[in-house]
Amino acid sequence: MKLLKLSIVVGALFCMASCCCKSSDLPDYLNPEKDIEVRIDDAMARMTLDEKIAIIHAQSKFSSAGVPRLGIPELWTTDGPHGIRPEVLWDEWVQAGWTNDRCVAFPALTALAATWNTEMSALYGKSIGEEARYREKDVLLGPGVNIYRSPLNGRNFEYMGEDPYLASRMVVPYVQQVQKIGVASCVKHYALNNAETYRHTTDPVVDDRTLYEIYLPAFKAAVIEGGAWSIMGAYNLFRGEHACHNDLLLNKILKGEWGFDGAVISDWGGTHNTREAITNGLDLEFGTWTDGLTMGKTNSYDIYHLANPYKELINSGEFTTKELDDKVRRVLRLMYRTSMNTDKPMGSLVSDAHIEAAYTIGTEGIVLLKNENNILPINLETTKSIAVIGENAIKMMTIGGGSSSLKVKKEVSPLEGLRKRVGEGVEILYARGYVGDTTSVYKRVDSGQRLADDRSEKELIAEAVDVAKRADVVLYFGGLNKAKKQDCEGTDREGLGLPYSQDKLITALTEVTDKLIFVNISGNAVAMPWIDSVPAIVQGWYLGSEAGNALAAVLVGDVNPSGKLPFTFPVKLEDTGAHSMGEFSKDGEENYGEGLLVGYRWNDAKDVAPLFAFGHGLSYTTFEYGEASINRKSMREGGRVTITVPVTNTGSRAGKEIVQLYIADKEASVMRPEKELKGFAKVELAAGETKSVKFEIEKEALSFFDDKQHCWVAEPGEFEALIGAASDDIRTSVIFTLK
């Protein structure tokens, strides 16, 4: 159905633009040589009221109408941030049953953020953009950049961590590269979507300074630096108005202060009020059934808020077409950049290059959290047997979790990847250990796995212990999965602990082996009450199609781990600001009482030691930092200072170190965090090699948001630049002043 409609609608466009007709003979709205704004003016002058109304709301689950009479094609969107969602039926969430809509699953965005490498972000954007383009998608619904406020948020795995600077730097290349393919990046969920269970009714209470310093910077960077062509509104409210039609967020900040010229797209079912949708900045309404939240009659798109109800208000004289024309201009601008762009490349699907990209990003994002006695990497020359224990060693993680669920061409499990890597020289023993989520079909995508197991907890643990006793090394693959109330859209976790009695299992394993390696498969922090008894811990994330191969490469030392945490692992929930001073996942007003003190900022302010700090990550080699130097001890407004620090690989093998720059304001007139990330660099060093890492500091890095003046302010005075390997591992510092 879709391909037939496209061929009919777009046929006129390409026929007119073919060699039988000069560009000068085309009407302006079809002439690709004309400026986009000229084309928009011409198209709007030709459109009827009905045609204008038709293109600002959905016509199916994932498409909005074009203007067939004028040869303007429809607009097609797709989830998600980690891969291209399988096709669904026109008017239902049910899978369409296509055989050619399998994709590459790229690592979840927590893993991308853990690379701390903007080159990896660019590679990610290019690769997923090419897959979207091949599938003829115009808008990619991602990436997500909501801040990691609590480890219980079920959707944290789709985002880029707790720090606004890190998320800002990582989102820009992703957006830029997706859009180079002629596919719009729809950055989501704007804004303050930091929990799932009550996402439709929660109303965060956040002051302006916290809003601007913590929760908006990544969106701002995506718009101003990345040039994002579309933004998705969030489900939640903010100051009494839903985020999808919120005057402050959309009109005043996004379109006013940031100059956003693209289209605001509602989250599916995020539109609730026709008049607010008209006046408060929403441009394109998508949803499900009648109102996006409940089951209604099929093909009810004409009764969407921005459909017939809007037209009736115009016809009655209550509204003019002023707001409508602005919405139409924005949607047409989005179309001319995507569906009407005749210069975009063809793209590619499940290519060798994309599989390699998934592998490379995955290996760069894996984080070595603990490695006592250098138990890792596993020495295959001296190891005769490896016990692999845990459901997450075999469970497919590319299905489930909500809208990021995918139908992949191939997913390599950790057990499969390890067996492939070690070959026949090392015996691999496997035990299930626990039974967690046995779901094998999600939204009619069948993983092909049948994970049902009726053995008792006692039997499962006994088998695992027996296998562990017989092995030289024990690899435990546990953590979370993408079932409800874990890492899953629509629900939040109920606690920080591991599910399915895993703590009991891990404790039993520590009693029979001192060579236990815990690989945590998750997009969130988990509690580790047994940490002192487990010598090695690896954060394995959700790594997509190449998960098993990427993990195996790091575990046996083919790849030296270089990832670092994009969020803090607390010892207990009360060690986070959201669960100590604020509220989390609440129906109605939800107080963000911790304010600016999110993540490591809270640990610093309250002198609370984390389990693993923001920015933490080990290597199979070691790095030594020299003394930081500065080119001048003072800086005048409009100037900059350059800080240089030598970093040496003091180990015996090549590795990559992520050097982190934090800034501390020593003389602030307002409360400021003890330090804030303002720079980072990933540097590759051969054994024994030294490189100088340079950071340039400008006024922006010294500024805070003054909510009284409603502007950014850098106060004259003394600042300290702190450089280290993690937020709790500062190696060197230098003082300078702003004149």
Place of tokens 């109408």: 65
The whole-angstrom separation of Cα 517 and Cα 378 is 10
Helix (H) or strand (E) segment spanning residue 659: strand 655-665
E strand or H helix that includes residue 111 = helix 109-114
Tell me the two tokens of residue 266. 């509602």
50 is catalytic: no
Cβ–Cβ under 8 Å, residues 585 and 197: yes
Residue 222 parent element (H or E) = helix 217-224
Please tell me whether residue 21 adopts helix, strand or coil conformation: coil
The Cα–Cα gap between 177 and 188 comes to 17
Rg (CA), the chain: 26
Q: Could you tell me if 521 and 542 are in contact, meaning their C-beta atoms sit under 8 angstroms apart?
A: yes
Distance CA(425)–CA(343), nearest Å, equals 52
List C-alpha distances in Å: 125 to 121, 132, 265, 344, 600.
Answer: 6, 10, 20, 15, 28
| Cα–Cα distance measured from residue 27 to residue 34, given in angstroms and rounded to the nearest whole number | 10
Bridging pattern class, strands 676-685 and 473-479: unpaired
SS3 state at 538? strand
Question: Do residues 39 and 337 lie in contact, with contact meaning Cβ atoms separated by under 8 Å?
Answer: no
- Secondary structure E strands in 211-307: 230-233, 237-238, 241-242, 263-265
Which residues have CB under 8 Å from 2's CB, separation 6+?
A: 63, 76, 87
Contact in structure between 555 and 475 (CB atoms under 8 Å): yes
Instruction: Confirm if 105 and 545 have CB atoms less than 8 A apart.
Output: yes
Are 120 and 72 contacting, i.e. CB atoms less than 8 angstroms apart? no
Strands 427-431 and 63-64: unpaired
What is the secondary structure of 579-636 as a DSSP string? HHTS--S-SEEEE-TTTT--THHHHHHHT---SB-TT--B-SS-EEE---EES-SEE-
**C-alpha 86, offset from chain centre:** 19
Residues 6+ apart with CB under 8 A from 322: none
3-state secondary structure of 110: helix
Length of the chain as a residue count: 739
Query: Distance between alpha carbon 370 and the CA centroid of its chain, in Å?
Result: 25
- Distance separating alpha carbons of residues 238 and 252, to the nearest angstrom: 14
For residue 307, the SS3 value is coil
Phi, psi of 692 (to 5 degrees): -95, 125
Note whether 173 and 160 are within 8 A (CB): no
CA-nearest of 362, 10, 336 to 179 is 336
- DSSP class per residue in 28-40: GGG-TTS-HHHHH
DSSP three-state, residue 728:
coil
Catalytic residue among 138, 203, 267, 283: 267
Closest CA to 60 of 87, 35, 98, 42: 87
Question: Look-up: residue for tokens 């600077």?
Answer: 165
Dist. CA 410–CA 700, nearest whole Å: 45
Please, what sign has the CA dihedral across residues 585, 197, 104, 551?
positive
N-to-C CA span, the chain: 65
The residues that are catalytic are 267
